[in-house]
Amino acid sequence: MEKVNWKVEGMDCTNCALTISKYLEGKGMQNVKVNFIGGDVSFDINGNASKQEIAKGIDGLGYQVHTGDEAQPKKQRRLFKNHWQRFIFCLVFTVPLFFGHLIPGIHIHALMNPYVQLALALPVYIVGMDFFGRSAIKSLWNGVPNMNVLIALGATAALGYSVYGMLIGQAEQYMFFETTATILTLVFLGNWLEDKSVETTQAALRKLAVSQKTMANMIAYDDKHEEHIFPVESTKLHVGDLILIKTGETVPMDCKILWGDASVNEAIITGESVPVEKKMNDKLIGGSIMESGTVKAYVTAVGEDSVMGNILKLVKAAQAEKPPVQQLADEISGIFVPSVIIISMITFVINYFYGHLTFADSLMRGIAVLVIACPCAMGLATPAAIAVGLGRAARNGVLFKNARSLEIFKSIRQVVFDKTGTLTTGHFKITGFSVNGEGAMVNNAEKLTDTNDAAQGSSSAIHHSPLTTHHSPLTTHHSPSTPDDFKRIAYSLERYSNHPIAKAIAKEWKVKDDIRWQTVEEVKGLGMKAVDKEGNEYIAGSFKVAQGLTEDYTHNVYIIRNNELLGWIDVADEIRPEAKQVISLLHSNNVKTILLSGDKKEKSEAVARQLGIDEVIAEQTPEQKLEKLAALTMQEPTAMVGDGINDAPALAKATVGISLSDATQAAMQSAQVVLMNHGLKNLPLSLGLGKHTYITIQQNLGWAFAYNIVAIPVAAFGFLSPTFGALVMGMSDVVLAVNSVRLNWKKVV
């Protein structure tokens, strides 16, 4: 199977998206996702199908496919490019027709001539049918009638009735040419206003997309090894290219600094405007801005593989997904148009046969029902709100992987936190160690959040013996003779782990003559395990691996060789500076907080007291964490925030899994939401955005249903003319878009 991502122009409503979805599914495509707001269409195609045939088929439905293939033949240019141009053209002919109605008592004899009115109405009707008529016929042909069917029927009925009056010589009693022209002209205006309004819902995403396209200073060397710098578009860069980035410039693509240092604004990704200091070997994110400094770097990722590319890809995918709340609206939209046509016919019959109105008045009421009904409102209600919610989230460093998470956040009542690397910074420092039973203090720094959270992301000890006042003797047989030997063993083991504690040890105790292992592996729930060429087995892990060798469970990492304890290492971790404020904000929103950790109960409770966390569940293995989270989720909807390998199963099990951007890949893949600002700062924003996006969807759907429920009977009873109905119909979508755009500024925390 091959993943296909296309841009499709011409989609105006949910029915358009349903038409394309139905066509693709009928052709055997899988995982079909269609977003009519952004025009994004994605699906999986098997080897038996031809992309050219599929694209041609979608074109045949009345839409324009952009596959990104430069060799694709150019489309024939149409006379009008957009609804604004159609509106202006039609307005020129509609104003004279409507002139007598605008100024009561003034009648221009020439304009009252039926043939003059027909001549003025025909150009408007032809342009209208070129758009609405084509779309209506193709939607009917594919079994998913759209709102253009209603517009085309209403305009055609008014024109046909007027022409009939001319043919029988009673034009004065049958003249509704101005109704035909006005309906089409005002609907073009409404569609243009809708398009402009919907575009504003995409503003945040467009801002991210524009940042992908910039100029770069590429570095090249000639045969004499002389450096040359020349400008290229960022989209032309490849992995490995050398670039120069100067003060004030945008980082063109993800890269790694080879020379120089700089202050970088990463607000485009993290939402945090405070510049971050970068030096040699640090990574730069494409789209960020160099506040000061000059660096030379090499490109590490381009296109969809870059951080920005991945964000845009995930956000677009989330937009195309349909959350549960949209399913009802889609079902109603699918039967809405046929229902309105039936209601329109019933309106005509009742008014003419039972209301004793004239044929003309009955027909006008039936047409008013057709043009005032708005299936687009129900189709636009959810996508517009989601587009704004996802866009604001991305702009502030919160990445939702699917739209479902936005909706589910409304019901979150408790948040579960991992400790190490989540509530704490994960930047550990070695504070002490012991070799052969002799302790050594590395520095006098206070241990802010000393942790036994398995050196490699494994579980904490389950031993509950009282804290001893002396260290148990270490077995000296085969023990390292010097602290340097002990450090060499610890570094050689920990350098293969991605856990923050292991990284800290490997960074501080780095040596050149590390041990070359015959085998080395990270054992979940245990730690690092390795065997040297002589067959000696080494383990670096929490107290769990040292039980039976010592009673002192107060240290973080224990080093063991051939079941003999060589020594221990203590490290300290700091609580994230924003953690306490985040917990307070959650409490102010009546959200319960829980600390779920593999660390010692005493240490976990100390952190909980410092931050004000409601409940502590400590000394849990990864399996126990999963069981506890499953139980909590059964009680009420629960969000889980974590960052380690051992958190991945729990993140996947939670109602909503939330990961930090500096988390392990396993954690980020398991989570539905990623906080891109390297911390917890935007956790309340993510919860608030989810809740208020759902509220906005409810408001939009409420308006859409209320509008149609009220407007259709009002038109049926003759309180609205077809002309005014066309204007009101166009404005109904604008109301939804404006209400959705409010999410950009609405206070959600």
Catalytic option among 418, 453, 552, 570: 418
537 beta partners: 531
The interaxial angle of helices 147-167 and 324-349, nearest 10 deg, is 20
SS (H, E, C) 443-466: CCCCCCCCCCCCCCCCCCCCCCCC
H or E segment and range at residue 615: strand 615-617
Contact (Cβ atoms closer than 8 angstroms) between residue 362 and residue 299: no
**What radius of gyration do the chain's Cα atoms show?**
34
List phi, psi (to 5°) of 144.
-130, 80
Q: Indicate the pairing of strand 242-245 with strand 215-221.
A: antiparallel
Contact (Cβ atoms closer than 8 angstroms) between residue 474 and residue 545: no
SS (H, E, C) 640-679: EEECCHHHHHHHHHCCEEEEECCCCHHHHHHCCEEECCCC
Residue closest to 155 by CA, chosen among 189, 124, 120, 109: 124
Q: What gap in Å lies between CA 202 and CA 191, rounded to an integer?
A: 17
List, as one string, the DSSP characters of 195-212: HHHHHHHTHHHHHHHHTT
Q: Which DSSP letter does residue 217 get?
A: E
Sequence-distant (6+) residues with CB within 8 A of 62 are 10, 134, 135, 138, 139
Catalytic residue check, 69: no
Q: Which amino acid is at 326?
A: Q
Token duo for residue 536: 């000696």
CA 623 to each of CA 361, 539, 619, 655, 670: distance values in angstroms, whole numbers, following the listed order: 73, 21, 11, 18, 16
H or E segment and range at residue 723: helix 722-741
Q: What gap in Å lies between CA 288 and CA 278, rounded to an integer?
A: 12
User: Active-site residue numbers?
Assistant: 418
